[in-house]
Structure 1
Amino acid sequence: MSAATSPSERRVSARIGAISESATLAVDAKAKALKAAGRPVIGFGAGEPDFPTPGYIVEAAVEACRNPKYHRYTPAGGLPELKAAIAEKTLRDSGYEVDASQILVTNGGKQAIYEAFAAILDPGDEVIVPAPYWTTYPESIRLAGGVPVEVVADETTGYRVSVEQLEAARTERTKVVLFVSPSNPTGAVYSEAEAEAIGRWAVEHGLWVLTDEIYEHLVYGDAKFTSLPTIVPELRDKCIVVNGVAKTYAMTGWRVGWIVGPKDVVKAATNLQSHATSNVSNVAQVAALAAVSGNLDAVAEMRTAFDRRRQTIVRMLNEIDGVLCPEPEGAFYAYPSVKELLGKEIRGKRPATAVELAALILDEAEVAVVPGEAFGTPGYLRLSYALGDDDLVEGVSRLQKLLGEAKA
């Protein structure tokens, strides 16, 4: 768009026109379209459990549909009973004691992230974003008027950034540091000592922290989930926690997330939501109430399956020459480096980027993966292992066959 274009000639605002499409959703949509057209595509793109939502949660929603109480507007910030249950769940799962007035129920985690940034950022404020990052973070920051500042970690550190890296990125404009553990897209999990060091560094410099805890229950082996405001209590007045039911309870389509934070920030974000969307669907909120009030048996079963698939996908990916895949400790993603494959000939083509390699893989092997460029780090691929065991083995076997043909 030309700078000389008059306002009446601009069809899409510069602010919205600058937003990129979600790469992960785009890959998933393309895979589903090819499947619908009859092609045997196996998709590793979407970050959602392949399990159905537990039955008791569905039944709670069915009952809510029949209750006229839920046929009307409810408070924009969330059902009072759900906010109280989220406070109890937060104490149970992370040892963080909060009041219901510190909670805002949102339409999924994405709305929570955007509204949190919108509530605390002014134009030009900088947010330190560890990369590889989930595609939505920088877009939400920009939409809220902020400036994402990337700090890159690679496979040599298990995709974890250090305090030294964060300090090197800090400027007088820095207001927030983003902290995500377990991580999407890498599955990296920070140790308690590493998390505490980052939290204390943020306190020392008066920074806000936005921490995304959506994968809190999906950790494997000796790894442990750590909640920053629990281990660094001094941080609580400048800490916003984002969470939701999507990953823990296989409820990605129900669209219920939440913000936990200081009362003034939560009130500001609630005011924003009151004009943007008003209340989250009451039926979905009642389902979320059943989820967070119940036990964690369902997630334990899912975690066992994810752990099995995690070990399988890492082993099979590392059997491919030119692929290096660290073992993820959390979430349900593998993030292998494919840098050694770039530029090599594969079925008559020489992909120079992970974007080109992912396109080649889809065309030749009918396997959908997301290129690392979508997460701020060229030369990598993200594969979600939240799909059935048979599909996982078949999909990676196709990768082994195709990529095994690579030659200089």
Structure 2
Amino acid sequence: MPAAAAPPFDPLDPLGLDDLLDAEERAVRDTVRRWAAERVQPEIAGWYERGELPVIRELTRELGALGALGMPLRGYGCAGASAVQYGLTCLELEAADSGIRSLVSVQGSLAMYAVHRYGSEEQKERWLPPMAAGEVIGCFALTEPDHGSDPGSMRTRARREPGGDWVLDGRKTWITNGSVAGVAVVWARTDEGVRGFLVPAGTPGFSAPEIRHKWSLRASVTSELVLDGVRLPAGAVLPGATGLGAPLGCLTHARYGIVWGSMGAARSCFESALGYAREREQFGRPIGGFQLTQAKLADMALELHKGLLLAHHLGRRMDAGTLRPEQVSFGKLNNVREAIAVCRTARTILGANGISLEYPVMRHATNLESVLTYEGTVEMHQLVLGKALTGIDAFR
């Protein structure tokens, strides 16, 4: 039997990775890609330049209607999608902007996941359906002004009062969605260890001033949370969360989305550079015809599609229930670092135009500087992998 003819080479899918997806996965990807193209891409440069996301509540409701919020969770109005489908959603959202993917990640993989994984049935029934619909925005408050990579040293405290109420005091910072959240998942030290608390917006003593003057993730709401004698009923504590392993488990779930999302930013920059190299002429020919430019494009394509292969592999492992936290660290460390390299190389191909918001390159590059840091810095993920490789804990 003669061998089947190989399909034509696709510069945008040189390894034929589309063949790894089934029809339902492609449909999810295409739906999210269309939504991002229609709702985000026409406005994102202006939002970024002005440092605002003025339609965050409208976008959140639309994302809820798409089933993108709490996407892999089951029940309570959540889509119950596969890990790969969720990863593809993160890929397409971050191809539009990291801030949009962060909105979805914090809502679903941090706030909603914490309630779904560690909450009581009453808490799940109260919060998850409106959060899945995008009617209530959530945030996840772990990082503090003096404690980012070392959350075990957090100073926010919760004390139990006679009668069962809890009183929280402390500060959290760099909290995505904080100023617009209807509920905050706040982690605090207690006499029993680290516990999680659901703090509704408007609770006396709780405020969330927005952080301004950012040069990264400008189209995203980032806030400080202030807890000054915040009194909560006994039913506000997440009953299944005791110890630092609970918030770290949430972070592992969210980091998985970053493995995919960072490749969306890289893809956007690669495609922009490729198109520019085909059209921009210097010395009487398109710059894509020069060897140095072709070498850059080849290296960018290699790292982009190796990162996508890694994301696919981790997604299949998550769906099989065999994904380990160390493997998520592997993906987060590699893919974000390589995505930044792709963006920087794309900037050189675009020359001076690479710094203009007429193109997405510099916006993605600056956004990824935040993605590189949050949910585990390079150094923290290197140490996670170092411990896994050697069996020796070098964190302290």
Task: Check whether TM > 0.5.
Answer: no
| Higher fraction of helix | 2
Question: What TM-score, normalized by structure 2, do the two folds share?
Answer: 0.24
Task: With a CA cutoff of 8 Å and minimum separation of 6, indicate the structure with the bigger relative contact order.
Answer: 1
* TM-score calculated relative to the size of structure 1: 0.23
